[in-house]
A = this chain, B = another copy of it.
């Protein structure tokens, strides 16, 4: 028997979900709540297997609710419910420890499947969410964009810049004159299309040159 709590501010949807779930073999809704004000106590008292958590709630939203839960309980599975597959929310929810993320328009049979999947350690996601997650994933990785073809020496200098060295210090470290450091840096700026040290440093981080 899968025991659930539901957090959802919309009364119709709350009733609908409850009826659907309670009417299905092997599922039971322990309680419903329309906000997350006492989420910690409620979860502690009812000890559910799975929580359905609406994201868009007034007051404490679903993400905050999730975070509260995770402060005290890492075992209960939390399935986020939302109308939109909004990029930022997906990201937030996932990194706050959600076990799954499904759209409200998911058909009932699918939803029950997802709940079961969450309970058994899976990570149910609707297709559109999964697509987004993959996109975020691949975009954040992007193993270095442009090349800028910096020479070896220029790369070294840039490295020192990133580490906060002044021209003078770089000259010392590299056993060259400070004016040579200047020359290198000027060249680096040209290749990176920037015109200050901090821009170069920022670009180095952004484009994973270091």
Does A143 belong to the interface (CB within 8 Å)?
Answer: yes
Contacts of A76 in B (CB 8 A): none
Does A154 belong to the interface (CB within 8 Å)?
Answer: no
Does A179 belong to the interface (CB within 8 Å)?
Answer: no
Does A124 belong to the interface (CB within 8 Å)?
Answer: yes
Q: Which of the segments A9-17, A37-45, A196-204 contacts the partner chain?
A: A196-204
CB of A123 within 8 A of CB of B131, answer yes
Counting contact residues on chain A (CB < 8 A from B), the size range is: 35 or more
Q: For window 65-96 of chain A, which residues contact chain B by CB distance below 8 Å? A: 91, 94-96
CB of A133 within 8 A of CB of B133, answer yes
CB of A123 within 8 A of CB of B130, answer yes
Q: Which of the segments A23-31, A47-55, A134-142 contacts the partner chain?
A: A134-142
Contacts of A127 in B (CB 8 A): 117, 120-124
Does A128 belong to the interface (CB within 8 Å)?
Answer: yes
Does A58 belong to the interface (CB within 8 Å)?
Answer: no
Pick from B91, B120, B142, B163: contact of A202, CB below 8 A: B163
CB of B138 within 8 A of CB of A97, answer yes
**A contact residues vs B (CB 8 Å cutoff):** 91, 94-99, 117, 120-125, 127-128, 130-131, 133-134, 136-138, 141-143, 161-164, 166, 194, 196-202, 205-206
Q: Given contacts A120-B127, A122-B131, A125-B125, list 10 more A-B pairs with CB under 8 A.
A: A94-B138, A95-B142, A122-B128, A122-B130, A124-B130, A130-B130, A161-B198, A164-B194, A164-B202, A205-B206
